[in-house]
Structure 1
Amino acid sequence: MRGDTMEILGRPIDQATTEARLDALVRRNARAGNAAMDVLNLIGGQAEDLLDRLPPSVRMRLNSTTESALRQAAEAAHRSRDVVGDGPAWRVQALTTMMGAAGGMGGLPTALAELPATTTILLRAIQDVALDHGFDPTDPSVRFGSVEVFGAAGPLADDDGVDLGFIGARMTLTGAAMRTLIARVAPRLATVLGQKLAAQTVPVLGAAAGAGINYAYTRYYQDMAHVHFGLHRLAIDAGRDPRDMMLAFRERAGQVKG
């Protein structure tokens, strides 16, 4: 089904099925990012301390570097569908893990060089999840929603992910809207990627940390994509307003966190 074709076919699903699927998405949101804790145990310290390990010059450029990487990823991930076909989630996890290890071998210089490619593959993984839920990754609204997923904090953040955005089914999008979204998402993603860069600079453990953190990030953003597009699909299947579905999700996710 294309992302711009959101009509409900047949009767909406019943209330019991809607509740069960909503609860499943809440549980997925709650457990997302757990693998990142293993990475923190590996490299030591706390997530908030990682950025302090970066040189001041790198910290100052994090926002602009991330925004540039995200702009490139938004186009490259889209174009990659014509070159690399769709595949299982584990394939992306394996690829990003290997890239993280390679990036960590040479310390900060190689980690910086690896960052744009990893961002592109993560975005492609998010688009693959959209396809799993029946949306067309080439549709502008789905591409917009895929970038929005990066706004869901990050696996090393103390965040429950319930601030995930929710796009309208028939939203008219422009290039300017995408640029505005990227500028809004970039600062939050910069913190996430800054933690990743810092982890890859740990002496001796750089390659292992890079592999582990890339694996954790990939799983996290795949889970967040399942929540984002799963809620959108559930709203369609249940014949509910997407905003009402998001409010129900926020309420339940808050109860789980509490």
Structure 2
Amino acid sequence: MSISDNINDYNSLKTAVKLLESPSITAKISNIISFPIEGAVKKLPKSVTKKINGAVQVALYKAADVALWSIDNQPHKSASTKLHKLYAATSGALGGAFGFTSLFIELPISTTIMMRAVADVARSEGFDLNDLSTKVACIEVFAIGGNNSKDDTTETGYYLSRSFMTESIRQLSKELAEMAAKQGANKFSPTQTGKWLAKIIEKVASRFGVVITNKFAAQVVPVIGALSGATLNTLFTHFYQDIARGHFIIKRLENQYGYEQVKEEYQKILNKS
């Protein structure tokens, strides 16, 4: 059966294309502050950029565990999008109130909130949060649209953004899914699971780190004093909720129709837009 023969699934795919091909988070920040964010990034000391990249990787590690653990595993339960944006705004306001250095303290908190929002969306699309492949997919969201070279579009499109991971990492994800189906994710040793996730998080952090660097740079631009940490965190959470919605719609449809068919229909819809 073709996905185009099912009106509900086809409309879901159209929604996913719209969400996933929207302007990048960097472009959204630049539009709000009316200031080219790239210029602000160049003014950041290299030591700060290096510290941000290290903090991002640590934040993703912590967020992946805490966020999924803190949500009840009830597939198809509606996502609490407004609640997570409220949490994010509160976190950003507290970080902004204590200046730039406090952002390194606030980062793990805001990343966990965003990861929790992503997991919430995954659950609402019917995914099992106890499945290790779902956890991997949640982490993957933070690499989509993250390393853009244009101010008005997502860098390469959704499927090319997904393909940034090396063949070994993509094969790893496949192996995880196959092993989970055979023996259950709960039988993986903590050491084995941690090693697999470490490889994935390292790849994702290299792209998400670019986004967070842009966010930090925006918060120290003098012309945006009125733009609070709360506003930026709300914007980020909303963005990744949308990316997660599109991503897990695609993953759900790929499970049903196959990767190639969904990708082909995705491209047809994109070309028509």
Cα distance, 1:48–1:19 mapped onto 2, change above 3 Å: same
Match of 1:61 in 2: 51
Choose from 140, 143, 150 the match for 2:135. Answer: 143
Aligned to 2:257: 240
2:67 is paired with a residue of what secondary structure? Answer: helix
In terms of fraction of residues, the more helix-rich structure is: 2
Q: Deviations over 1:114-173 (max 9, x none)?
A: 111111111111100000101112211100100011110239763254135396593447
Give distance in 2, aligned partners of 1:79 and 1:128. Answer: 11
Q: Which stretch of structure 1 is more off in the superposition, 182-191 or 25-34?
A: 25-34
Contact kept? 1:126, 1:146, Cα under 8 Å: yes
Structure 1 window deviating more from structure 2 (95-104 vs 108-117): it is 95-104
Contact in 2 for aligned 1:47/1:157 (Cα 8 Å): no
Q: Which residue of 2 aligns with 1:214?
A: 233
Distance in structure 2 (CA, Å) of the matches to 1:216 and 1:27: 17
**Unaligned ranges ≥5, structure 2:** 163-169, 181-192
**Identical columns (%):** 30
Aligned counterparts of 2:225 and 2:148: Cα–Cα separation in 1:
17
- Please, which of 29, 49, 74 is the counterpart of residue 20 of structure 2? 29
Q: For residues 155 and 215 of structure 1, what CA distance do their matches in structure 2 show?
A: 20
Distance 1:253 1:12 in 2: 18
Q: CA deviation at 1:47?
A: 2.4
Q: TM-score, normalised by structure 2?
A: 0.76
1:26 CA drift (Å)? 1.1
Residue in structure 1 matched with residue 11 of structure 2 by the alignment: 20
Counterpart Cα distance in 2 of 1:235 and 1:41: 34
1:228 is paired with a residue of what secondary structure? helix
Structure 2 CA distance for aligned equivalents of residues 80 and 230 of structure 1: 23
TM-score normalised over the length of structure 1:
0.80
User: How many Å separate the matches in 2 of 1:28 and 1:156?
Assistant: 16
- SS across alignment from 2:70: helix
Which residue in the other structure is 2:214 paired with?
Answer: 195
Partners of 1:35 and 1:93 in 2: how far apart? Answer: 18
What letter is aligned with 2:55?
A: T
CA RMSD of superposed structures (Å): 3.1
Structure 1: unaligned runs, 5 residues or longer:
1-10
Q: How does 1:1-258 map to 2 (within 5 A)?
A: 15-17=5-7, 18-31=9-22, 33=24, 37=28, 39-81=29-71, 88-154=80-146, 158=150, 159=154, 161-162=157-158, 163-165=160-162, 170-172=177-179, 174-203=193-222, 205-206=224-225, 208-236=227-255, 239-253=256-270, 256=273
How many corresponding residue pairs?
241
CA contact (8 A) 2:78 2:124 kept: no
C-alpha distance in 2, partners of 1:220/1:155?
Answer: 14
Change (3 A) 1:207 1:75: farther
User: Against the structure 1 CA distance between its residues 181 and 247, is the aligned structure 2 distance closer, same or farther, given a 3 Å change threshold?
Assistant: farther
Deviation at 1:177, TM superposition (A): 2.0
Deviations 1:51-71 (A, max 9, x none): 223232111223222111111
Q: Deviations over 1:71-110 (max 9, x none)?
A: 111111122226xx98610111121122222212222111
Partner SS, residue 154 of structure 1: coil
Amino acid at match of 1:154: G
CA contact (8 A) 1:101 1:209 kept: yes
Closer/same/farther in 2, CA of residues 56 and 254 from structure 1, 3 Å limit: farther
Cα distance in structure 2, aligned partners of 1:80 and 1:194? 27
- Distance change (3 Å), C-alpha of 1:56 and 1:12: closer
Q: Distance in 1 between matches of 2:111 and 2:119?
A: 12
CA change 1:247–1:183 in 2 (3 A) is farther
